[in-house]
């Protein structure tokens, strides 16, 4: 198999980092290596809401993730690979980018998801000797960046990240840029990621036991070369059509609500974020196929978003709660988010905006009601109801798990000539509603080094069922299917 040059470089750098810290013999003596085996079954019907052929997924896959870790004094290093084989194009990884992005129509085979692939998930080296605090660490390489709510960072990306984590103060400062997906099937980056740098910082202070308040900031700088359309030349979805600089500043407060181990009777979280910046966007060709008068347009954009939630503990096992989120029409997230967190109060991370719909904070508001159950560290379950609306009924929403299209057909033969994303109905705000269920059995605890808490998705072996059923609202029109679902069964074992 011919490997992407970035994958080759990642493999080479991985071995260089591991051998530099301290010796391979020391690593094996500590037994800091292992294999995570994940088997995933997926059923999905139907992502396009019945607007085109296909849109269904029914398959099973195996995902092997070998890893190795070593440390000597203040230095440590880590690497994790990945080998996936499946019967259909399924999601074995909750960090995979949206189905919208991975399955987009493109003539470029360098970004088409395949059933089988090899990948390098992480490779980094770290130093923790700048301060006497054990929670301080400077890490360089492709690594897992994550914050508690998953709305700012939760992805594997090349970064230089400094973390300071103590009882009273938590802080992160870093810079990141995606240079490759490090997968044998995805040889090209998404246009959004090309030449886009991220700078970020956050700090949170525990002002009284169990109560945190913090500030967060993020800046993206994108000066990547734009691809302008040419008359008579077909465009590609991998063409870069916009760039610019955006800045986010936010404040948050919570009761350690994302820590599923806390025993508070009442938990809460609240955040408010403002966004401001400028963007250049490529203009499309005129209707007659000629070049537009101006090749691009420049806009100043700004927006804001909030996320609020409260959770009540009925007894040591049962909790109920409600959450509300709203993002203005021009607000968007920074592109490093997963929107997955422990917001329902269990050990399992749940998508904040639906396991099926998978909304983003862009021209959307949502209301969620949930109940959750946690039995020791062995079992957990979450049942969630979501309702989604547009904030501005005449503007689109951000990417999500729905891929409905509008087909242009030949008047005589009825053949489909082209397809575009289905526009939402003007003035209609109701996006739909959803029910989610996530149930997990955990076992075989305590086998991983503590330093890998951010890198390993699941700290224990498990069996999990997660599913969402979405009912589209009036904004999608009357010609779409009444329901769509997305369901997974995951079995993870660690060696």
Q: What is the DSSP string of 115-152?
A: SSEEEEEEEEEEE--SSS-TTEEEEEEEEEEE-TTSSS
pLDDT (0 to 100) of residue 3: 52
Angle, vertex CA 398, rays to CA 201 and CA 48, nearest 5:
140
Q: How far apart are CA 447 and CA 403, in angstroms?
A: 40
Asked if residues 155 and 95 have their Cβ atoms less than 8 Å apart, the reply is: yes
| Beta carbons of 305 and 284 less than 8 angstroms apart | no
Asked if 334 contacts 220 with a C-beta cutoff of 8 angstroms, the reply is yes
Give the mean pLDDT of 205-226.
95
CATH of the domain at 103: 2.40.160.100
Whole-model pTM? 0.88
What range does the domain containing 209 cover? 5-494
Nearest to 259 by CA among 251, 250, 272, 269: 269
Is the pLDDT at 9 greater than 60? The verdict is no
Whole-angstrom Cα distance, residue 389 to residue 291?
37
Mean pLDDT across 35-41:
95
Query: Per-residue b/e over 250-263, b at no fewer than 16 CB within 10 Å?
Result: bebbbbbbbbbeee
Judge whether 135 and 81 are in contact, CB under 8 Å: no
Instruction: Note the pLDDT of residue 24.
Output: 41
Mapped onto helix, strand or coil, the DSSP state of residue 48 is coil
String of DSSP letters for 417-442? EEEEEPPPPTT--EEEEEEEEEEEEE
Per-residue pLDDT tens digits for 442-466: 987 655 555 665 666 777 789 999 9
Calpha distance 346→142 (Å, rounded): 28
145-174 pLDDT, tens digit per residue, is 999 999 999 999 999 999 999 999 999 999
DSSP run (H or E) holding 319:
strand 318-327
Residue with tokens 């526009």: 423
Q: How many domains does the chain have?
A: 1
Q: Is the pLDDT reported for residue 95 higher than 90? A: no
């Amino acid at each position: 198999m011919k490997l992407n040059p970035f994958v080759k470089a990642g493999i080479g750098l991985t071995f260089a980092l591991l051998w530099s810290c301290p010796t391979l013999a020391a690593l094996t003596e500590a037994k800091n290596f292992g294999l995570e085996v994940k088997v995933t079954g997926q059923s999905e019907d139907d992502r396009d809401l019945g607007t085109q052929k296909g849109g269904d997924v029914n398959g099973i896959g195996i995902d092997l993730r070998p890893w190795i870790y070593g440390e000597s004094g203040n230095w440590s290093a880590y690497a994790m690979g990945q080998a996936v084989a499946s019967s259909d194009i399924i999601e074995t990884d909750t960090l995979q980018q949206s189905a919208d992005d991975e399955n987009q129509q493109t003539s470029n085979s360098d970004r088409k998801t395949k059933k089988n692939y090899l990948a390098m998930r992480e490779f980094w080296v770290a130093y923790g000797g700048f301060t006497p605090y054990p929670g301080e660490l400077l890490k360089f390489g492709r690594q897992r960046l994550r914050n508690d709510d998953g709305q700012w960072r939760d992805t594997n990306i090349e970064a230089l990240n400094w973390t300071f984590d103590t009882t009273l103060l938590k802080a992160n400062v870093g810079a990141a840029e995606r240079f490759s997906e490090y997968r044998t099937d995805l040889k090209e980056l998404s246009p959004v990621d090309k030449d886009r740098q991220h700078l970020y910082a956050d700090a949170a202070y525990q002002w009284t036991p169990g109560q945190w308040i913090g500030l967060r900031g993020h800046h993206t700088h994108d000066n990547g070369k734009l691809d302008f359309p040419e008359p008579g030349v077909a465009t590609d979805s991998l063409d870069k059509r916009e760039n610019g600089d955006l800045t986010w500043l936010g404040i948050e407060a919570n009761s350690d609500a994302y820590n599923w181990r806390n025993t508070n009777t009442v938990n809460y979280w609240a955040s408010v974020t403002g966004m401001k910046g400028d963007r250049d966007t490529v203009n499309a060709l005129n209707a007659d196929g000629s070049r537009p008068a101006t090749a691009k347009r420049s806009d100043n954009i700004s927006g804001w978003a909030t996320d609020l939630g409260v959770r009540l503990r009925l007894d040591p096992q049962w909790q109920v709660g409600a959450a509300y989120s709203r993002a203005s029409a021009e607000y968007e997230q920074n592109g490093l988010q997963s929107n997955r967190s422990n917001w329902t109060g269990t050990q399992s991370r749940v998508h904040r905006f639906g396991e099926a719909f998978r909304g983003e904070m862009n021209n959307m508001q949502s209301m969620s009601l949930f109940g959750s159950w946690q039995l020791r560290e062995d079992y957990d379950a979450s049942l969630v109801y979501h309702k989604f609306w547009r904030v501005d009924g005449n503007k689109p929403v951000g990417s999500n798990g729905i891929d409905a299209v509008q087909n242009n057909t030949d008047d005589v033969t009825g053949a489909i000539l082209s397809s575009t994303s289905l526009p939402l109905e003007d003035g209609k705000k109701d996006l739909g509603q959803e029910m989610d269920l996530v149930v997990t059995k955990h076992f075989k605890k305590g086998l991983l080094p503590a330093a890998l808490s951010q890198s390993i998705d699941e700290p224990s072996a498990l069996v999990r069922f997660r599913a969402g059923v979405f009912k589209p609202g009036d904004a999608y029109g009357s010609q779409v299917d009444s329901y769509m679902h997305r369901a997974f069964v995951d079995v993870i074992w660690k060696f």
